[in-house]
Chain A
Amino acid sequence: MSLGQRVSSDHQLTRLLQIGVVLEELVESRAAHHIESLPPDERAEFDEEVEELLAEAATESADHRERLEALIDDLEAETVGYEEINALVDAQYGPPEDTDGVLYDQLANEETAYKFYDDLIEAIEASESEFAVDRERLLETLYSIREEEKEGVEEVTEVMEQRA
């Protein structure tokens, strides 16, 4: 058991970045599943704004994934492919009841990702270890992804408030 929140090796850092990639793949896959899972009558009501929000979330996740993968490449490791995660989502997916359920799930996605990057940044900053990837580049990438996740939380919250 390891007490104290810090990243102390390349190996541990790689594993955490791989988890980040999976979280992004989850967002991407769940957003796609949500759109497909809606019954036709709900789908008609599924307004443009929500559909756009999910499409944007999927695009942003794909971009975050690529940026994380570039760091993982430098650490000479691999990631689990999108198709594999998509298949796992498929196996366990239970569609939300309605559009509000979709938005709640999307909010949980964004909030979880934000919390993950926030904890990861804190754990890297608390560590004095040298990593095989440039520390400044690593932190800059994570700061910028964290900021986008924060904006994502705000966007979903805004849409939810408008619908209330």
Chain B
Amino acid sequence: MNTADQYLKAIYLAQRIEDGPASTGTLADLLEVSPASVNEMIGKLEERELVDHEKYKGASLTDDGLERAHNALQTYCIIERFLANVLEVEEFRDEARALESVIDDTVAERLDTIIDRPAQCPDCFDAEQDCCELLELEASGRAD
């Protein structure tokens, strides 16, 4: 997943957490980058008409941005479910965060053919828990 998609996903989640525009501070925390980096990327996403930015309020996704964020979150859900249920990784949230930049959407689509993902994905993603609220975890680690 490329950096722009990771930002769009973070804005989507921040908007859900804050129930309104995503603030620079929340995005910087979610993405573990500096507020200056967030502002720079928001500017680029605004130029591409994926994000609307209102001074002192924050960033909101446009319809196009929302569609891309949805797809990015779905890819992320596939990675989390694959790690949790196929490789049985206990720390699947941390590992999904570490791996998402290296896993392409097409790879995630293939992995999706062997996982059981609810039809409403990614609406069932719990932004605060950072995972799907319907995810059932296996007993213990297998592939460690």
A21 to chain B, nearest CB (A): 9
Residue of B nearest to A8 (CB): B98
Q: Which of B51-93 contact A (CB under 8 A)?
A: 82-83, 86-87, 89
Question: Of B101, B107, B113, B114, which one neighbours A116 at CB under 8 angstroms?
Answer: B107
> Which residues of B lie under 8 Å from residue A115 when comparing CB positions?
104, 106-107
Please measure, in the bound complex, the distance between the C-alpha atom of A26 and the C-alpha atom of B99, giving whole angstroms. Answer: 20
Q: B18 in the interface, Cβ–Cβ < 8 Å?
A: no
Give a binary string over A1-43; 1 marks a CB under 8 Å from any B CB, 0 the rest: 1111101000010011011001100100010000000000000
Given A77-B144, A116-B107: A4 in contact with B87 (beta carbons within 8 A):
no
Q: B24 in the interface, Cβ–Cβ < 8 Å?
A: no
Q: What are 16 A-B residue pairs whose CB atoms fall within 8 Å in the complex?
A: A1-B100, A3-B3, A3-B33, A12-B99, A15-B95, A23-B110, A77-B143, A80-B86, A80-B143, A89-B114, A109-B110, A112-B106, A115-B104, A115-B106, A116-B104, A123-B101
Max chain B Cβ within 10 angstroms of own Cβ: one of A15, A18, A88, A119: A15
Range of interface residues on B (Cβ < 8 Å): 20 to 34
Q: B111 in the interface, Cβ–Cβ < 8 Å?
A: yes
Q: Which 8 A-B residue pairings sit nearest by Cβ, starting from the closest?
A: A88-B114, A112-B110, A1-B97, A116-B107, A123-B102, A2-B98, A5-B101, A112-B106
Q: B128 in the interface, Cβ–Cβ < 8 Å?
A: no
Q: Does B3 lie within 8 Å of A78, measured CB to CB?
A: no
Residue of A nearest to B85 (CB): A88
> Which residues of B lie under 8 Å from residue A111 when comparing CB positions?
106
Please measure, in the bound complex, the distance between the C-alpha atom of A123 and the C-alpha atom of B115, giving whole angstroms. Answer: 26
Max chain A Cβ within 10 angstroms of own Cβ: one of B10, B87, B102, B142: B102
Interface of B is mostly: helix
> Which residues of B lie under 8 Å from residue A120 when comparing CB positions?
102
Question: Of B3, B95, B98, B114, which one neighbours A26 at CB under 8 angstroms?
Answer: B114
Q: Does A15 lie within 8 Å of B101, measured CB to CB?
A: no
Give a binary string over A106-119; 1 marks a CB under 8 Å from any B CB, 0 the rest: 00110110011001
Q: Does A85 lie within 8 Å of B114, measured CB to CB?
A: yes
Q: Does A92 lie within 8 Å of B114, measured CB to CB?
A: yes
Q: A99 in the interface, Cβ–Cβ < 8 Å?
A: no
Q: B15 in the interface, Cβ–Cβ < 8 Å?
A: no
Given A26-B113, A79-B143, A89-B113: A15 in contact with B104 (beta carbons within 8 A):
no
